[in-house]
Structure 1
Amino acid sequence: MDKAPARPGVALAAVVTVVFVTFLDTTVVSVALGDIRSELSTDVTLLQWVVNAYTVVFAGLMLAGGSLGDRWGRKRVMMVGLVIFCAGSVVSAMASSVALLIAGRAIMGLGAAASEPGTLSVLRHVFPGERSRAKAVGVWAAVSGLALAAGPVLGGVLVDAWGWRSIFWFNLVIGAVALVVALWSVPESADPQPEPFDWAGAVLGATAFGLLVYAATAGQDRGYTSVPVLLMFALGAVAMAAFVAVERRARAPMLDFTYLRLPAVRSALVVAFAVYFGIFSIFFFTALYLQVMQSYSAARTAAVFAPMAGAIVLGSLVAGFWVSRRGARIPLILGCVLGAGGILLTRQALSGTLHDPWLAAAMAVAGFGFGVSVVPLTSAVMSGVPAEHSGMAAAVTNTMRQVGSAFGVAVLGALVSAFLSADLKARMTELGLPTTLQPDAIGAVERGRIPEGVDIGPYLRYLSKVNEVLATGKTAFHHGLDVALLVSAILILAAAAFTALDTERRAAKVN
């Protein structure tokens, strides 16, 4: 069923257009969060779901999307996914409430889960040679990195000019262009001897990822020791255990765990999770802090993020040539070290008085490291898995990316929210605000406005202390962001250490 394209360059252009639109939407919303919060009157937790509704569905269903592509045709599944993605963009653009916006984002995530795995697996068939594929993956990674980093930049321009809804209309236009170009140029391919679809694995995998990430996010509001949250964690763990058990016994598993015995594949997946976990400490929380707590406009936020976008592209292109000649191990480790170092530099730049050039330079270092690491982790997995299972290989790589993103937003969000609430409560108590009035006051700081239905009468005697409370809110948010950036950097460095030790141990056994 495989057909080689007459012009592989055109097919590559079509594929990276699909990559651009699906990865762009992971971060393009970040600079719109302040405007969304203001217009739809929502808090930090629901704002996280505007981001996570996309990434959770994306992560939970991507394995299914990759397996369906291997069986039914990678191009066919990609096209269906793009149509769904465009439909979700329309729902998001027209949303009149945060609930509808979250629903639209979830629909977009479903479309991305179907369309995105096919991009990498198609490259495996268009570029069968190791060196040509590494260069193509370099372009793929450069575009995916560009989309991630350009999200805040492009989003800032759109929001500043036409409001936050314009980012979803823009997604619709790019998605439609990607659909037309891919229909014309991308070859169809599928497993020549397809096995029955692993429905049990699909349901259990989506359930496990969805419940665990939902519980991590919901715990911020309800408390991590509350019965509903603990129950969701428990059910998610059970679903994950059942998923592993089913996949180990399935005739045609959605995720073949035997490939994880390969050190290169295993290390690449660990790095994928850690790097994308850390990326969102910058893409989501730094952008939110600059806009909400430092009153940066969307355009100013975009200017700060622009050097990072360029650095990710440069790092990806450099790594593509490096991997094609020298292999994946060294750039994988070096990319992690640079990325973690850039996060620590960003953390330092955010302390004290902000200077945009210094902050942009620090973020650019992180971006270069991210770009360098993405190519080798992608190449390692795609090279370690047979071509007929390329959809699964692409899906598991991108699943780890999206799971890392979703957990990054959830876990780091919990840290930021916890510090924000704790520091605000302590300061309000010092100022004499009764504990019964504190929850709504904290809600007002988080939302940027007084929550609907709140009687402001009891608060009038404390109006003279409003500025002190707001100043505390800014300091508290920064306290949480500071810890979140540190945790991200440590996790990425731990992934680099794991990669170095795992591959050294394997080499020692071979010798």
Structure 2
Amino acid sequence: MVRKPLVLLTVCLAALTINLSTMIVNIALPTLADELQAGTRSLLWIVDGYNLAFAALVLAMGSLSDRFGRRPALILGLLGFALSSILAALADSSGELIALRVAMGVFAALIFPTTLSIIANTFTERRERASALGLWGASVGIGVALGPVGGGLLLSHFSWHSVFWALVPVSLLAAGMAAAFVPESRDPGVPRIDIAGLLVSVAALGILTWTIIEAPDHGWGSPETVAGFVVAAALVLTFVSVERAVEHPMVDVTLFLDRRFSAACAAVTIAFFALFGFVFLITQFFQFVRDYSALQTGLRFLPVAVSIAAASLIGGALAPRLGTKAVVTPGLAMMGASFLWISTIGADVDYATVIVPQMVLLGVGIGLVSTPATESIMQVLPPARAGVGSAVNDATRELGGTLGVAVVGSLFSFRYGDRLVDQLTGRVDTATSAAAADSVGLAHALAQRVPGLESAVDDAFIHGLAVSCTVVGLLCLVGAVAALVSLPGARLADGVDAASGRV
């Protein structure tokens, strides 16, 4: 007999493990910058090495779990994640840590789509599934809360290695629960992996991410950057061509002709683009500009974390009643408004009266977008192909997160670096100025030693933050307009659009 509450608890814990990994590492970035002498680009790769492997492989992993069994795939993914976390805890250089973060991303790609496909096959009635997805989505908010707070506590008493050791028992507990409670399910009819599509997609995403992260160093108009974007675009077109030509594509690109599907995927991508970019920047703002400790920083993430968790549950309950459009569109608008508001803050902004409302607005927006949009994606495919739908959903989340860190981080690095070099000209030597522009951590340490530099470093940071947040805010507002036009409206019954009568 399937014990649904225990199944749901298990997959939510597995999803929480993945979300913890993202957030707990972000809180450690300033410490890593100091102890590993990691510049901004190295920090970007520590975050995006994980995201990149996750996004690139999640479609293939979802197909494998469908074909060979979701329960063993979940257990294998969690055990591999625990092992790679142990190895990351033993790393002693930024290069080693980046490589091991890639390995962690590979196993995360096996875990995450499996959790969603297990939900789809266990909870087959729409309202029941929507509630389950709401709890699953709330694990994002819980991860946003536990990751920074737990990471802050660990960093207050131990070295940065402890944040990776902490992931090990959680992964092993989830693996044990999966072995005990999750029933086996599979779809033997799932075809073999589309190797050509997989290779082209990995190359396209890898080159695009590399180009964006390295652009501040090469220059946005440099031959390397332009060539990178051209090659990435050509590979994307090649991927579409390959997927339309093969008998069993990794991604059925014709699914994106369904406006419910494509608009929902875009909404999820934008939501996690915004979330990951925000976390990357605000962590460093709290610790470098405001001089908060890791624990103080973690505690200050609670408003956005609680808001995401609560709004995910509310959004999951409202979407079947009001329609996806009526929930997702305001969510994206709230996200856009929050980022435009954040772009106006100064170094001395008050946390309680300004940053907390901004975080609540952002968290509610993300929660209202992520769960209803995920539910809309899952509605398009039957439960037997849940792995495909969940993998596409997870790919859009990780694609958004990967590009969010890369784009926001690179925009910030470019504007921060230019501004700081201008501020330091004539005050320090050229080599020191260039090194400070490459690393916020080094600039912060320099400002502590040289009187009068702290305001210059803070001004450069705020300038980079403002430009990045303005770009993200405008993107969210464009997404809100697209959601208003494309997502389904209120429904009369399960799967029926009340406005058009279409299923």
Smaller-chain TM-score range? over 0.9
Contact 1:418 1:480 (C-alpha < 8 Å) held by counterparts? yes
Structure 2 residue identity aligned to 1:19? A
Tell me the CA shift for residue 62 of structure 1. 0.7
Match of 1:479 in 2: 463
Contact 1:342 1:367 (C-alpha < 8 Å) held by counterparts? no
Match of 2:450 in 1: 466
Match of 2:144 in 1: 148
| Aligned with 1:490 (options 468, 474, 478) | 474
Structure 2 residue identity aligned to 1:322? L
Structure 2 residue identity aligned to 1:203? L
Tell me the CA shift for residue 144 of structure 1. 2.3
Q: Does residue 340 in structure 1 map to residue 324 in structure 2?
A: no
Contact 1:70 1:389 (C-alpha < 8 Å) held by counterparts? yes
| Aligned with 1:418 (options 394, 410, 414) | 414
Tell me the CA shift for residue 509 of structure 1. 8.2
Match of 1:502 in 2: 486
CA distance in structure 1 between the aligned counterparts of 2:276 and 2:132, rounded to whole angstroms:
26
Contact 1:91 1:100 (C-alpha < 8 Å) held by counterparts? no
Tell me the CA shift for residue 412 of structure 1. 1.1
Q: 1:477 to 1:336 in 2, by over 3 A?
A: same
| Aligned with 2:173 (options 171, 177, 180) | 177
Match of 1:375 in 2: 371
CA distance in structure 1 between the aligned counterparts of 2:316 and 2:440, rounded to whole angstroms:
45
CA distance in structure 1 between the aligned counterparts of 2:448 and 2:2, rounded to whole angstroms:
72
CA distance in structure 2 between the aligned counterparts of 1:445 and 1:134, rounded to whole angstroms:
42
Tell me the CA shift for residue 510 of structure 1. 7.6
Structure 1 residue identity aligned to 2:88? S
Contact 2:335 2:365 (C-alpha < 8 Å) held by counterparts? yes
Could you tell me the percent identity over the aligned residues? 31
Q: Does residue 315 in structure 1 map to residue 311 in structure 2?
A: yes
Match of 1:356 in 2: 351
CA distance in structure 2 between the aligned counterparts of 1:251 and 1:352, rounded to whole angstroms:
56
SS in 2 for 1:116: helix
**Superposed CA offset, 1:312-350 (max 9, x none):** 1111111121123333221111211222233334444x3
Structure 2 residue identity aligned to 1:86? A
| Aligned with 1:447 (options 442, 460, 466) | 442
CA distance in structure 1 between the aligned counterparts of 2:292 and 2:421, rounded to whole angstroms:
26
Aligned length: 494
Q: 1:426 to 1:140 in 2, by over 3 A?
A: same
Question: Pairwise CA RMSD of aligned residues?
Answer: 2.4
**Superposed CA offset, 1:435-490 (max 9, x none):** 46632453575435889xxxxxxxxxxx9993333321111111111111121111
Q: 1:97 to 1:435 in 2, by over 3 A?
A: closer
Contact 2:272 2:401 (C-alpha < 8 Å) held by counterparts? yes
Structure 2 residue identity aligned to 1:69? S
SS in 2 for 1:467: coil
Q: 1:161 to 1:420 in 2, by over 3 A?
A: same
CA distance in structure 1 between the aligned counterparts of 2:296 and 2:448, rounded to whole angstroms:
31
Match of 1:455 in 2: none
Q: Does residue 50 in structure 1 map to residue 50 in structure 2?
A: no
Q: Does residue 82 in structure 1 map to residue 78 in structure 2?
A: yes
Contact 2:141 2:308 (C-alpha < 8 Å) held by counterparts? yes
Q: 1:258 to 1:25 in 2, by over 3 A?
A: same
Match of 1:398 in 2: 394
CA distance in structure 2 between the aligned counterparts of 1:329 and 1:371, rounded to whole angstroms:
14
Q: 1:437 to 1:345 in 2, by over 3 A?
A: closer
CA distance in structure 1 between the aligned counterparts of 2:79 and 2:449, rounded to whole angstroms:
52
| Aligned with 2:186 (options 187, 190, 203) | 190
Q: 1:95 to 1:333 in 2, by over 3 A?
A: same
| Aligned with 1:94 (options 87, 90, 96) | 90
CA distance in structure 2 between the aligned counterparts of 1:347 and 1:153, rounded to whole angstroms:
25
Gapped regions of structure 1 (runs ≥ 5): 452-462
CA distance in structure 2 between the aligned counterparts of 1:479 and 1:272, rounded to whole angstroms:
28
**Superposed CA offset, 1:106-161 (max 9, x none):** 11100001111011111111011111111111111111232134322322222223
Match of 1:282 in 2: 278
CA distance in structure 1 between the aligned counterparts of 2:331 and 2:250, rounded to whole angstroms:
29
CA distance in structure 2 between the aligned counterparts of 1:94 and 1:507, rounded to whole angstroms:
56
CA distance in structure 2 between the aligned counterparts of 1:250 and 1:347, rounded to whole angstroms:
46
Match of 1:302 in 2: 298
TM-score w.r.t. structure 2 length?
A: 0.92
Match of 2:112 in 1: 116
| Aligned with 1:157 (options 134, 153, 160) | 153
CA distance in structure 2 between the aligned counterparts of 1:124 and 1:390, rounded to whole angstroms:
6
**Superposed CA offset, 1:198-217 (max 9, x none):** 11112111221111111111
Structure 2 residue identity aligned to 1:355? D
Q: Does residue 25 in structure 1 map to residue 21 in structure 2?
A: yes
CA distance in structure 2 between the aligned counterparts of 1:445 and 1:393, rounded to whole angstroms:
40
Structure 2 residue identity aligned to 1:135? S
Q: Does residue 365 in structure 1 map to residue 361 in structure 2?
A: yes
Match of 1:460 in 2: none
CA distance in structure 2 between the aligned counterparts of 1:31 and 1:388, rounded to whole angstroms:
39
Structure 2 residue identity aligned to 1:251? E
CA distance in structure 2 between the aligned counterparts of 1:209 and 1:387, rounded to whole angstroms:
28
CA distance in structure 2 between the aligned counterparts of 1:343 and 1:150, rounded to whole angstroms:
23
Q: 1:445 to 1:6 in 2, by over 3 A?
A: closer
CA distance in structure 1 between the aligned counterparts of 2:472 and 2:465, rounded to whole angstroms:
10
Tell me the CA shift for residue 432 of structure 1. 5.6
User: After superposition, where does 1:6-21 map in structure 2 within 5 Å?
Assistant: 6-21=2-17
SS in 1 for 2:452: helix
Contact 1:443 1:450 (C-alpha < 8 Å) held by counterparts? no
| Aligned with 2:125 (options 110, 123, 129) | 129
User: After superposition, where does 1:189-208 map in structure 2 within 5 Å?
Assistant: 189-208=185-204
Match of 1:389 in 2: 385
CA distance in structure 1 between the aligned counterparts of 2:158 and 2:392, rounded to whole angstroms:
37
CA distance in structure 2 between the aligned counterparts of 1:28 and 1:37, rounded to whole angstroms:
15
